A and B are shown apart, each in its own frame.
Chain A
Amino acid sequence: MSFRAPHELHKRRFGRNLGLGLVLAAFVALVFGLTVAKVSNTAFKVPSLSQGGN
């Protein structure tokens, strides 16, 4: 039993979904990298809870 070749429309959708998936993965990696860069900065301070409450 053989599979039918994917339809052109499905191929195009797959390409679009794959592209979007890769972009989202790259975005997650970038935000993670940004977070590490920001909290590694010597000027970074964890906000005080008491200040946040007032």
Chain B
Amino acid sequence: MSDASLNTDNAALPLEAGFGDFFALLKPRVMTLVVFTAVVGLLAAPVAVHPVVALAAILFIAVGGGAAGALNMWWEADIDAAMKRTRKRPIPAGRVTREEAFAFGITLAAFSVVMLALATNFLAAGLLAFTIFFYVVIYTIGLKRWTPQNIVIGGAAGAFPPMIGWAAATGTISIESVMMFALIFMWTPPHFWALALFMRGDYDTAGVPMLTVTHGRRATRVHILVYTVLLAALALGAAFTGIGGPVYLGVAVVFNALFLRDAVAIWRRDEAQAEADNYRVEKRAFRLSLWYLFAHFTAILAEAVLSGFGLGGWA
């Protein structure tokens, strides 16, 4: 670009991306969940990891998750432009081109997998590679636009980070890491369906076949209840595995009781009632679901920390 081109009005300038725009491509809010659950998976493992290796592992898992987010934005630029919630993202806003996002995402994906393999082991790196592949190819490109079960199956991608953290520490997959995976996997559908109930216009506009659109809102309410019951059984069952203990059980009892209360309330309501109070219960259930996951993983972490003092678990 010649300097002459700079002597124009700001309005006529190309919207060149800043550092923050590339950072936004990594979906930093989703990344916080990835980092938190991966940290818990790594620290809950019964193997001591050198702090620098642990830091590097978490960082590369986070970068891998961010790369998947960038590739998701590359593919879904049209959906993001149609939805109010996402239209200010860097690609629909015109600050980053789709090609730049693709190059950025694919480079970071390869980088994160190779670096995780070098820092920890091939199993953790393989799981990270599979997670990125699953999120981008299976969920984003494959499932999201043609099946209302997109959230159910796509939830697996978000469920892998604690398993990767555990594998980074131990080099294995075990019942404990599978339980952490299952907890996020079962939590994802009711969490997103509660959101879909009160963000009603967005998914319809974008043509994404959410359950609310394809099977109706009554069916979505039933699905939320069924998945929350299954989730509660799983979350309470996890209390009696290696990651559980009295602290975890206490937290699980309280939060599952609250989540079940909201799921039953959602199931009992119809659209007229929900519209009358502006989806108060659905919004409350969505907010609670965020605390639910945070509380369960904090409790797993607490059990791991307590076991360092000979207090954690049932022993």
Contacts and interface: CB of A to CB of B under 8 A. Distances in A.
Contacts of B23: 19
Interface string B8-27: 00100100111110110000
Determine the main DSSP class of A at the interface with B. Answer: helix
Contacts of B18: 12, 15-16
Interface string A26-54: 00001001101110010000000000000
Given A15-B20, A34-B56, A38-B53, 11 more contacts: A7-B6, A8-B13, A12-B16, A16-B17, A20-B19, A30-B59, A33-B52, A33-B55, A34-B119, A36-B52, A41-B50
Interface residues of B, number: 18
Contact of A9 (B13, B19, B52, B118): B13
A36 B56 CA distance: 13
A27 to B, nearest CB: 9
Nearest to B6: A7
Given A7-B6, A9-B6, A19 B19 contact: yes
B119 A9 contact: no
A11 to B, nearest CB: 9
A36 B6 CA distance: 47
Interface of B: 6, 10, 13, 16-20, 22-23, 50, 52-53, 55-56, 59, 118-119
29 contacts: A7-B6, A9-B6, A9-B13, A9-B16, A10-B6, A12-B17, A12-B18, A13-B16, A15-B18, A15-B19, A15-B20, A16-B17, A16-B18, A16-B19, A16-B22, A18-B19, A20-B19, A30-B52, A30-B55, A30-B59, A33-B52, A33-B56, A34-B52, A34-B53, A34-B56, A34-B118, A34-B119, A37-B50, A41-B50
Contacts of A18: 19
Determine the main DSSP class of B at the interface with A. Answer: helix
A39 B17 CA distance: 40
Contacts of A13: 16
A17 to B, nearest CB: 8
B28 to A, nearest CB: 14
Most interface-central of B13, B20, B22, B52 (chain A CB within 10 A): B52
A16 B104 CA distance: 14
A33 B56 CA distance: 9
Contact of B52 (A10, A16, A19, A37): A37
A8 B56 contact: no
Contacts of A33: 52, 55-56
A15 to B, nearest CB: 5
A30 B50 CA distance: 13
Contacts of B22: 16
B119 to A, nearest CB: 6
B285 to A, nearest CB: 38
Contacts of B20: 15
Nearest 9 CB-CB pairs, A to B? A19-B19, A37-B52, A33-B52, A37-B50, A16-B19, A12-B18, A15-B19, A15-B18, A7-B6
Contacts of A30: 52, 55-56, 59
Contacts of A37: 50, 52-53
